[in-house]
Amino acid sequence: MDLRQAVYDGYQSFAPLSRRLIAEAREIFPGGDTRMSAHYAPFPLSIAHAKGCRMTDVDGHELIDFMNNFTSLIHGHANDAVVAAVSAQIANGSAYAAPSRGQIALGALIRDRVPSIEQLRFTSSGSEATLMTLRCARAATGKQKIMKMEGGYHGSYELAEVSLIPRADLCGPIEAPLPVAIDASIPDSVLRDVVICPYNQPEIARDLIRRHAHELAAVIVEPVLGSMGMIPATRDFLVALRDATSAHGVVLVFDEVITLRLADGGAQAAHGIVPDLTAMGKIIGGGLPIGAFGGRAELMRVFHPDEVQPVMHASTFSGNVLSMAAGEAAMRQLDPQVFERLNGLGERFRQGANEAFAGAGIRGQATGTGSLSNLHFTDRPLDSARASLAGMVAAGNVGQLLHLEMLQRGVMSAGRLMYCISTPMTAADVDSAVDALADALRALKPGIEKERPALLG
């Protein structure tokens, strides 16, 4: 029996009720799935309830949650203050299509913490937030093209996903990467409007920005490449983007939808580099749907209702009072000490994970920074999407199988092996995830020896 079949067999008998539910879901949703990032083969665990850093699946297994709804639940599940705030608010309504005190309270809190924000607007998602930064930049500069990073993810729409996966056969030379469509739904017109920049290549970035300055409205960048494996940007790279965009009249956008959880004020505060616009989401909603974007008042002026032709931005659930209440309750529990503790636990996880790979004699590593980590089955240095992807291709399905083995040992991560820390976690929780990793690697090793010997260290 091959390794995949052996792991699938074990997983299927571990989760019979989840398996039964996915059969029902397949009647309703294509492949049983309504959110691609939450799907994994052979079927995902269905969750019954969750509290703090622990979730319980429908078969009754308890799991430590290192996924945290893709980093958004910085206080884990059902945080007491968030539950109280949402319960109090919902009795008074959930969304008014009118201004409210809650919007001002959360808006002011974000503005006071995030260095680039002079003015902001709420959205219903992080995708909408990044999209609106780009429309803002286009309207403010009168230019059309957008530079995005190879491996950068900015949400679920066409431009935001171009070159997310820079396939080696399509991505072109590193000095001038070609735009790569994520799937058959991406129109050529979108590919023509994008300039792709390789991540963590300051000199190439400067050159590309200079050459395209006449047509570039914005450069958008994640301070940590999230979807492609938690690869932190170097300071030199972010400085190069800041310098070159300032020199050439291009708007610099930081997508801090994930990285706002790295420090009080986000990655921009940690690096001391202030973009023109910032997109946010996830943690600012306290677990409810949200997004926000903002920056220099002069740029945000394009949305001013008194403008002759303001940039159109309407969104049914934008600024809804429930997300405002949850977000304020969550954000008020965060201060520099809390971020320091979270980041320390993240460092502890990465160190432990690296030791687990070394102890098992399997090539692998944990990348990331602060509370954000990702496991990879390669010991090559990972500083770009190309490097991360090459590691994934070489490892085949081993990462996916490790994920299933970790679930059976009570540890939930993203299928792509992203792990993040929440405030209810303790050092003991982190250590038990590391122990589970060491055990899972031991279990997989005989199969890896047979099928992927190149992964042995």
Ligand X SMILES: Cc1ncc(COP(=O)(O)O)c(C=O)c1O
Residues that bind ligand X (CB under 6 A): 70, 125-127, 130, 153-156, 222, 226, 255, 257-258, 281, 291
Strands 62-65 and 411-412: parallel
And the tokens for 179?
Answer: 């735009």
Judged by beta carbon, residue 257 or residue 433, the one nearer ligand X is 257
Long-range contacts: 52-55, Cβ < 8 Å, 24+? 52/76, 52/77, 52/78, 52/79, 52/422, 52/424, 53/77, 53/422, 53/424, 53/425, 53/429, 55/412
Closest distance to ligand X from the beta carbon of 130 (Å): 5
Closest distance to ligand X from the beta carbon of 164 (Å): 11
Instruction: Decide: helix, strand or coil at residue 22.
Output: helix
Closest distance to ligand X from the beta carbon of 431 (Å): 27
And the tokens for 227?
Answer: 């979807």
Judged by beta carbon, residue 222 or residue 347, the one nearer ligand X is 222
Judged by beta carbon, residue 292 or residue 334, the one nearer ligand X is 292
Closest distance to ligand X from the beta carbon of 226 (Å): 5
Closest distance to ligand X from the beta carbon of 436 (Å): 25
Residues 9 and 446: their CA atoms lie apart, in Å, by 16
Specify the amino acid at residue 154. H
Cis before 99? omega within 30: no
CB 103 within 8 A of CB 319: yes
Contacts (Cβ under 8 Å, ≥6 apart) of 129: 123, 155, 257, 279, 280, 281, 291, 292, 293
Torsion-angle region of 370 (φ positive above 0: left; ψ -120 to 50: alpha; else: beta): left
By residue count, the chain amounts to: 457
CB 127 within 8 A of CB 137: no
Judged by beta carbon, residue 76 or residue 126, the one nearer ligand X is 126
Residues 358 and 364: their CA atoms lie apart, in Å, by 8
Closest distance to ligand X from the beta carbon of 85 (Å): 20
CB 396 within 8 A of CB 450: no
Closest distance to ligand X from the beta carbon of 440 (Å): 26
Closest distance to ligand X from the beta carbon of 148 (Å): 11
Judged by beta carbon, residue 258 or residue 406, the one nearer ligand X is 258
Q: In 332-426, which ranges are continuous DSSP H helix?
A: 336-360, 385-395, 398-408
Which residue has the closest beta carbon to ligand X?
A: 126
Q: How many CA atoms lie within 13 A of 126 on its CB side?
A: 24
Residue 114 burial (C-beta neighbours within 10 Å; 0-12, 13-18, 19+):
buried
Closest distance to ligand X from the beta carbon of 127 (Å): 3
Judged by beta carbon, residue 226 or residue 368, the one nearer ligand X is 226
Residues 43 and 271: their CA atoms lie apart, in Å, by 40
Closest distance to ligand X from the beta carbon of 293 (Å): 11
Judged by beta carbon, residue 89 or residue 227, the one nearer ligand X is 227
Residues 152 and 29: their CA atoms lie apart, in Å, by 28
Judged by beta carbon, residue 223 or residue 364, the one nearer ligand X is 223
Judged by beta carbon, residue 153 or residue 303, the one nearer ligand X is 153
Judged by beta carbon, residue 291 or residue 399, the one nearer ligand X is 291
Closest distance to ligand X from the beta carbon of 368 (Å): 14
- What residue has token string 């990793």? 437
Judged by beta carbon, residue 230 or residue 325, the one nearer ligand X is 230
